[in-house]
Structures are given as structure tokens and as C-alpha cells.
Chain A
Amino acid sequence: EPEVTQTPSHQVTQMGQEVILRCVPISNHLYFYWYRQILGQKVEFLVSFYNNEISEKSEIFDDQFSVERPDGSNFTLKIRSTKLEDSAMYFCASRQGGAGGYTFGSGTRLTVV
């Protein structure tokens, strides 16, 4: 079964540093997403991406965050000037479009120290 691949699985970074989280969505999927889950809380929507542009973003997704699809396979989330409260599990997801569900990656656990 096709998978969404996320790297790295764990990342520890110093406060104030920039991090890039990477995702390889399923190849024939058209819609891409990033979600975040702070420890012990529910999963929250960050941003959706379609046709090489952001289609929707949440209030959380401010100027500190950016997304990019630099080539035909990768989808990245960049977090600038990381803060302690950015520590969370970040999930990438993709879907084909129309009827059909989301496929989630295994997540990147980000720890800001």
C-alpha cells in the first residue's frame, strides 16, 4: 500500500534555530497538508497546498511557517526562529482528491530546547 514518508522521525533543535521537516506524499495525490499535535492534545490543521500554492491556512500558520514543493515529489514545512511551544508532532498528509480519504505520514517529533 502506498505510504506518505516523513523525515526525520525525531529532531531536536535549539530555540531560535530554523528547521525543515520533509515529506514525500503519495505520487498521484494532488492535495497536501501539514498538521500538528502538541503532546496530549488533539491534532490541529496547519496548512493545505494544492496546485503549487497554499489553499488554506490556520491561525497557527503565521509568518514563522512556510511550505514548499521544491520538486515533483517533496513537500516541506519550514519553521523559522523556533520557540519552545513549537515542540510537537508534525504530520504530513496527502489525498488524491474527490472521494477518498487522507493518508498520513508517521510524523516528525520536534523538540525545541
Chain B
Amino acid sequence: GIQVEQSPPDLILQEGANSTLRCNFSDSVNNLQWFHQNPWGQLINLFYIPSGTKQNGRLSATTVATERYSLLYISSSQTTDSGVYFCAVAGAGGTSYGKLTFGQGTILTVHP
């Protein structure tokens, strides 16, 4: 099946700093989503972005499908941004079609 790798595994920032999280995937995809898992364990959908660029406030994401990676940018980070960020993809065919495969996540800690 499709492989998803996220980097870095851990990231520690001071409030106000910017960061970039990366997601590499091993095959063509027809779905890519970024999630934020909050301290209560809920998965909050940030972006549905199988290709292109989107922005939502301080967050933006870019997926370059032909090169099989996606980036999540967080600007002017706040303590409430802390948590785990997951990239998840659904392959465009074969055994990966339909189901989401998650990466291992990036643990982000923002200090005041």
C-alpha cells in the first residue's frame, strides 16, 4: 500500500515563530488531508488538498502531486497550535483506493 512519511517528528517553537511541516507519499493520490489532533484526541480537519495551494488564516498548505509531497505552513504560531499534525492520503488506485493512510505525525509544541 501507499507509504506516508512526515517530518520532522517533533518540533518545538516559541510563540510567534513560523514553521513548515512536510509530508511525502509514495504513490499517486486522489485525496490528501491535513489534520490537527488536539489534546482531547479530536481530529480537526485543516485542509483537503490533493493538489494546489490553500490558505486559512495563519495556516496554509501546498501539495505538489507530481513530486509526491505536501507542506503545511504555520505562521505566527500560538500555544493553541500545539498538538499532533497528521497528513493522510488516499491512493488513486489499486489497494490504496478509498481508504486514508496516515503518517506518523509531527508533534508540535509552542511555548509562550
B83 located at the interface, meaning its Cβ lies under 8 Å from any Cβ of chain A in the complex = no
Q: Which among B18-26, B57-65, B98-106 touches the partner chain? A: B98-106
Q: Which residues from 31 to 66 on chain B have a C-beta closer than 8 Å to any C-beta of chain A?
A: 31, 33, 35, 40-43, 45, 48, 50
A89 located at the interface, meaning its Cβ lies under 8 Å from any Cβ of chain B in the complex = yes
Per the bound structure, the CA–CA distance linking A43 and B89 in Å amounts to 12
Tally of contacts, chain A with chain B, CB under 8 A: 49
Contacting pair B42 A107 (CB below 8 A): yes
Contacting pair B101 A45 (CB below 8 A): yes
Contacting pair B41 A102 (CB below 8 A): no
Contacts A43-B102, A48-B99 hold; do A106 and B42 have CB atoms under 8 A apart?
yes
1/0 per residue, CB under 8 A from B, across A18-48: the answer is: 0000000000000101010100001111001
A91 located at the interface, meaning its Cβ lies under 8 Å from any Cβ of chain B in the complex = yes
B69 located at the interface, meaning its Cβ lies under 8 Å from any Cβ of chain A in the complex = no
B88 located at the interface, meaning its Cβ lies under 8 Å from any Cβ of chain A in the complex = yes
Q: Which 6 A-B pairs have the closest CB atoms?
A: A101-B48, A43-B102, A104-B43, A45-B99, A42-B102, A106-B42
Q: Give 10 CB contacts A-B under 8 Å.
A: A31-B98, A42-B103, A43-B43, A43-B88, A45-B100, A48-B98, A55-B98, A99-B50, A101-B45, A104-B35
